[in-house]
Chain A
Amino acid sequence: QQPVQSPQAVILREGEDAVINCSSSKALYSVHWYRQKHGEAPVFLMILLKGGEQKGHDKISASFNEKKQQSSLYLTASQLSYSGTYFCGTPNSGNTPLVFGKGTRLSVIA
């Protein structure tokens, strides 16, 4: 079951904030966030686990709501370098590979 991301695309001016959401119809065991710039490979941003454990880059923040089966990625004071497609991935069960959402395309303009 593929997680659903919203919005599909967003355009920001430098310094503005954005929130990218990831929701699932199944129970979430973990949520993994990646960013992919055009023509490049996906790069890890953050993992959020049941129980509140997180692992990721200091400048990125995210939330994980197990009851609502959703996660949100918070991008504050956006920079041009934040531009790219953001993917969330979740395992369908506790021990299965990640299924990624369709991505959210973020464009930051000067």
Chain B
Amino acid sequence: DTAVSQTPKYLVTQMGNDKSIKCEQNLGHDTMYWYKQDSKKFLKIMFSYNNKELIINETVPNRFSPKSPDKAHLNLHINSLELGDSAVYFCASSQVWLWDEQFFGPGTRLTVL
């Protein structure tokens, strides 16, 4: 069984569109995260969501918004996509906030044309 899954695996879209990436974890973890990995492989935290408390990286544009319908899901919505949004987006989860190993999903490669 897949621990952390993401859909879609690839996403190609035009500038200005709105898109969503879904993430689900079946590990029973309390905390979920979204990371962005750019072309230089820099892995940057975007959001952390723990027991309904959301921590936002201040550098993330407000075009990005996480939505958590329940503890097992943390979806990422992106409005008005820009070329610079092209990257691989990883979802992750951990049992304990921060002080525990994070399990990463397989990633979603977003390409904005």
Contact = CB atoms under 8 A, between A and B. Distances in A.
Contacts of A42: 43, 90, 102, 104
Contacts, number: 53
**Interface size range on B against A:** 20 to 34
B105 interface: yes
Contacts of A102: 40-42
A18 B99 CA distance: 26
B44 interface: yes
Nearest to B55: A97
Contacts of A36: 41
Contact of A47 (B40, B57, B101, B104): B101
Interface of B: 33, 40-45, 48, 55, 57, 90, 97-107
Interface of A: 30, 32, 34, 36, 40-44, 47, 49, 55, 85, 87, 89, 91, 95-100, 102-103
